Structure 1
Amino acid sequence: MTTEAARQVRILHLEDDDMDAELIEATLGAGLDCDVRRVATRAEYVAALEDADLDVVVADYAVPGFDGLAALAAARARRPELPFIFLSGTLGDERAVATLKAGATDYVLKDHLSRLVPVVRRAVDEAAERAARRQAEQALAASQRFLQTVVDATPDVVFVFDLARRRILYVNRQVGAVLGYAPEQLQAMAAEMLGGVTHPDDTEKVEAILARLAGARDDEVTEWELKVKTAAGDWRDLQFRAVAFNRDGDGSVAQVLGVVDDVSDRRRGEERLREQAALLDLTHEAILVQDMEYRVRYWNRGAEKLYSWPADEAVGQDVTHLLQVGNPSDLLEARSLVLQEGVWTGIQQQQTRDGRDLVVQSSWTLVRDEAGLPRSILVVNTDVTEMRKLEAKFLRAQRMESIGTLAGGIAHDLNNVLSPILMSVGLLRRQVTDARGRRILETLDSSAQRGADMIRQILTFARGAEGERVPLQPAHLIREMQKMAQETFPKSISLNVSMPGDLWMVSGQATPLQQVLMNLCVNARDAMPEGGTLSISAENVSLDERAARSNPKARPGP
């Protein structure tokens, strides 16, 4: 679209002859929508150049006291972008060439005024195009300066790589901070750059990366890591991300634009973390990290062994679900205390995945972030289940020792009570002659003797020594128990005793065995309040190998 289609063409007309001026303005008005401002002197001309908003200058070459070249020089000095057209009746070829060399846009002879409108139109359009191009170039330059500022300000290395020539076309100055090279050094390496700075172990990897980049889509981001040698000769771990930047005529990727991040410190930190995690896996304690929403973030091998939950299943789960805390309120109390004081230590009842109950000594430590806010809780749990059982056994042993001491004192007193009874039985035997009375005395004497034996057993227990084992005939113990039961148990309970006549002897202590029989019979009596039959049987048994293995103290045989 031409300039005059959008607005009037503003023309400064330098002409001293009134008739020529009128003819020229009429010619311009007939072919253009224009606004012509005529000036006739140097002063008017210079003032118009300073003040007026103009599109083109049309000047007579020969103005009295002010020639055309002077007018051209004044216009170029003040408005260098303004088109300047000479209009003259006497302009030879040499002079015309001189004006063009001096900067005139064109010239028109007064006897060829039909060329004036096309020349003015072309000059204005070309000026508009030059102005638009100049604005675009300025905008592009500003954009390039802005992008260069951004690229130079970014902490990452930014580069453009030519795949075909295998060379760096552009790299920002941050490459100096990361690798110690000036951008010009890497660009000067050309195709030898890859082999010169990448680690020998990554040679095949580099070829595979280049193949991936060559086939990348426009929206595809390709990522990789390489070991790259610095200018000082050491190696850094660099992470690359690149996209297709330019393509050849056949559509293949010609150049890629990428950024580089130095991850050497991060990789060393990750390696240290792996080493520390390996050390944590060597400990027997269960070590875990839970976030502030009770989700597990770390689960060491000790925790896997203790709770039977593998790490890949435990991480991300609710810790209360994994540990099956016996009393959830204890967990809330521990959490409240660790948030207040930073640490907490205590005993917790927990359960493993397979339902095994645990008692753990638990130590919690609050971990805060850089802002000082709670981020997670480090938990170290030690299994003290067996220790607690041993403590309970020790306490029971202490109680039994106390009971033994007390029983020893009671046994002495009971012995003093039984002694007169035993002596009285001996005296009464001389006076009682009827059968029933003598049976009662025998029962009394037998019971007193058993009481005395029991007292001796208690005294033996109180002293911490085992009684002496002797050969015993269990048939005698059974008959004695039968006799006692018949005389003392309710008549609603009938007694049935079954044993062979050649019952084998056993090695043991009479009183404990008698007590065992007594306890069994009393329990049976109490289980039959309405009466019933109480059966006592014994038989000879030879144990085979299989039966003997069921009891660690048993041996095959009779």
Structure 2
Amino acid sequence: MQDFLAAKEENADLLQQAYEFGKDAIAANLSVREITAIHKQALSNILPHNSHNTDASVMDQIANIANKATDILTQSLLPIEESRQQQSPTKLTCTGSGEERLEWMYNLASHLNGASTLDEIYHVALQGIQHIFKTDRAAILMFDDRGVPRYQASMGISEAYKQAVEKYCASLSEIPQTELVIVSDAAQQPGVESLDRMRKAEGIQAAASFPMVYQEHQLGKIAVYYDAPHQFNDEEKRLVQTISTYTSVAITRKQAEIDLLESQRFVQSIADSTPDILYVYDMNEHRNIYINQACLQVLGYTPEELLAMSSDLFSNLMHPDDLALLRNDVQRLHNMKTGEITKREYRMKNADGEWRWLCSRETIFSKEPDGRTKQIIGVGRDISDRKANEQKIRQQLAAMEASVDGIAIVNPNGIFTYSNHALAKIFGYSDADAMVGKNWQDLYDREVVDYVESEVVPIVLAKGTWQGELIGNKKDGSHLSVEVSITAIAGGNGVCIYRDVSDRKRAEVENREKQKRFQSILDNFPGGIYVYDKEDKHILVNRYYEQASGQTNAELFGQTIFEVWPYDLAAGTSAANRQVIESGMPIELEEEVPQEDGLHTYVTIKFPIFNEHGLAYASCGISTDITARKQAEVKLSETQQFLQSILDNFPGAINVFDREDRHILVNHHVEKILSQTNAELHGKSLHEVLAPDFAARVSAENKQVFESGMPLELEGVVPQSDGWHTYVTNKFPLFNEQGDAYAVCGISTDITERKRAELQLQESLQEKEILLKEIHHRVKNNLQVVASLLNLQKRTIADPAIAQLFEDSKNRVYSMATIHESLYQSKQLNQVNLAKYLQDLVDALAQSNDIQSKQIQFRVDADAIDVNIETAMPCGLIVNELITNAIKHAFPDRRHGQISIECHGEPNGQILLVVRDNGVGMPKDVAPQKASSLGLRITNNLVRQLKGTIEIDTACGTCFSLKFAELGYQNRI
């Protein structure tokens, strides 16, 4: 009882009540579990009489009472329970080593009683068994809900053995629980075959099973095992039964503690989980004796902080106005009846200094003997949000009358039970009273009413609200557009809010038209239009920008330019945006944007967009694709450079004059002549630069070109520093897009040197022509001398055949002399006219052969074809041979006949030469290519020299047809 006395001294009144309760429970032969259950119920009666301990909360007091009272009960129950388990009143005596064993038993009971967990109790009990039986193999088994023993703790027993035993016991249909089982020698006491096999496998030779019984209820077993046979004596049995009793009581006590703690935690969890403040207030001490954890969430104070404020709690935290009301209400709280519940609303200041509205519902927790209220228990709920909503409602009701929107309440029958003045004004009525009592259907046409009843009302009933636009009728019969919001409220009523949107609808129509026009401008603008905010996010783009980026306006909205364009381009654009927004000034720049077909160049104008406060919040860019223009500029620049290069390198003067004879453009040649640059000459009149007479001449030439619109070519001399220069000038007009001549361009080429060279060449040519004529004359004379010598020689030859050979040679020489004579007489020293040459050759041959004019007639039909001497020489020789041959052989016996010579040019550029006679003809078996006569051989060689062809027709006389082309000049050196 020492623990009890110590506890009693610490808290005398409290423990005295608990101890008295414990003695009564023991006297009633109750178990520990039953005692603790009743004890929990009794604590509620103990609590109100022991509230003076202000250092702990109510729940802490409950825990202290339960723990200390349980210890006292356990100490009281141990000897009583031990006596119940004994079969006889025999007690342990202190004989021999009895005192030591008694002391040991006392210590064992103390350790069991002081164990903090069930596992610790099992461990202490096994140590006691090991001490008594001097064995290292023992176990404690506890019965589960089915009565199957389950190993809770063991020593020296394998898991396989424990599982086998549990499995065997679980297979029994009825498990004996109260019997004591002792096997001193397993070999001599065979039992269940399966258990014997398990014992043998485990090496168990002796075993005993002692029941753990409490209040005639078996909790489990204590099992002892030996590796050799063992005889269990009575003392060992009594000691084990004592340990069993102590262990049963300790287990029961500990289980009761666990149940009690779980109950405490359950109660505390309920109190702490509620969002409302739970409190107990003592009316006599004017302070709270318990507050749950919800106060921390609601007021920001811990329960300990609020309890520490004691009676100053309300004066510290309650609103002064509410505190005065509370003081006036104290008497009513003292006289409250049991079961009566009071309700109060008040304000409390939280830890942040904010006022929070609370609503408390309170009832009696305990009473004084005289019936007055001693303690009240209450629940305080935070209604700050509700109060704020109520305040808002009051403000809204005040605003309803001041609202420009029409507000009405309609009852289930469709009648207006409330209307503000704005609603009456919207529909053209004098005041709100004129609207009250009217049916809402009176404000609409039938089709609108049908729509509301079929479409709107079901939505309001299902969802509680609807918003839309309706066409209503004013008092004067005119129509108006109203925006209506309907909300269902209690009692089947509805709150309707009306807004006249007629002006807005008209404005919306106008805005839509403006928007369409604006969008049309945006989408049809041949360039990109876009708006970026300060964070470089897209706000608006046009269709061109969409196509360039490959995304729609909706997809681009909110994306930054860095998410759409390459970093370098985006970084440059971002810097430009920042410059525009920060400076508030527009800028113009060129940008290169990558697209599918390559880089495009854009000229961009960016300007800021300002809000109503005059602050720039975005930038708008308008970008025009000038890629084609830039390419054209490059090409134009290249063309200009090319033309300028031509102008500057042209070895002559180029001038461009306008209609007032002012210089527009000159090249380097003119700059050099006039010793002025193009820039200096630009805009100057030619009269300011040139000599008067020369300027007048140039002006007249320009005027002629302007008036005729035709080019003009002329040659003239121009005075220069080194003398007069001769120029050939081509002037032509320059026309504008309308076809009007606006300038004259003159291109003058200095031909001074060429003129000098031409004069020298002409003089040299005249000299060469005289020399060449002299050469032709001398060659002709020499050939005639040769012909004369041949003729003189012929006269000295008596043989006619040989003489004829000399005659033929003379004629050949003469044909060549005739060519040189023709060249000598011709103005063209390198060309021979075939018509004249053939006629002269035929005349000479006729004269040389002494042909009678009536015997053989000659006819020449030749075109005036000029050929060079390379062609004329073989051609003349061929004609000489053919005519000579015809004279000799075609007309024997001085027969009369005709020889014709024809020479014509053909379309293909060849020349056709025909020599024919109507004489006796050549023998048919003679081929001209194989003829043996000298004349025909010469003819064939000359044809080859001309690279021509010859054909012979002997159908009527003999006809030679020769085709050839003029031979080119062949270098003879």
Interval of TM-score (by shorter of Structure 1 and Structure 2): 0.3 to 0.5
Question: Greater CA radius of gyration, 1 or 2?
Answer: 2
TM-score under structure 2 normalisation?
Answer: 0.25
TM-score under structure 1 normalisation?
Answer: 0.42
Greater relative contact order, per chain length (Cα 8 Å cut-off, separation 6+) = 1
